[in-house]
């Protein structure tokens, strides 16, 4: 998994590139948690444009970051969700808690 972070006007955007699965879960979780602790923001946007696959472990990573973000009074959003990923978000119920921008 590769990451690119941009912070502007209280919004931190993290572009993810690769598969969000069991193999990359720890690295992704650690990277996001480090950025959540390090930066001041009110919205975290995960850019899913370069994510082609996500399994249940990836869903767990997103749910865990949602809880962390919510606990500090911020919002978790996603953008550029492809059709295959959209299906995962819909079936898992992630859209009920994570906003699409």
The CATH number given to whatever domain includes residue 38 is 3.30.750.24
* Residue span of the structural domain in which 46 resides: 2-100
Query: Beta 11-20 vs 2-8: how paired, if at all?
Result: antiparallel
Does residue 37 contact residue 71 with C-beta atoms inside 8 Å? no
Q: How many structural domains comprise the chain? A: 1
pLDDT of residue 2: 97
Task: Round to whole Å and give the CA distance between 98 and 100.
Answer: 7
Q: Is 53 helix (H, G, I), strand (E, B) or coil?
A: strand
Q: How far apart are CA 66 and CA 95, in angstroms?
A: 12
Q: What is the pLDDT of residues 15-74, one digit of tens each?
A: 999 999 999 999 999 999 999 999 999 999 999 999 989 999 999 999 999 999 999 999
The closest alpha carbon to 62, from 4, 11, 6, 14, belongs to: 14
Structure pTM?
0.95
């Amino acid at each position: 998994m590769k990451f690119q972070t941009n912070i502007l006007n209280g919004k931190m955007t993290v572009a993810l590139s690769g598969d969000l699965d069991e193999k990359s879960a720890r690295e992704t979780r650690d990277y996001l948690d480090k950025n959540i602790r390090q930066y001041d923001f009110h919205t975290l946007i995960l850019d899913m444009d370069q994510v082609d696959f996500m399994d249940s472990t990836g869903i767990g990573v997103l749910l865990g970051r949602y809880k962390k973000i919510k606990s500090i009074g911020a919002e978790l959003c996603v953008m550029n969700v492809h059709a295959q990923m959209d299906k995962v978000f819909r079936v898992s119920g992630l859209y009920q808690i994570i906003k699409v921008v």
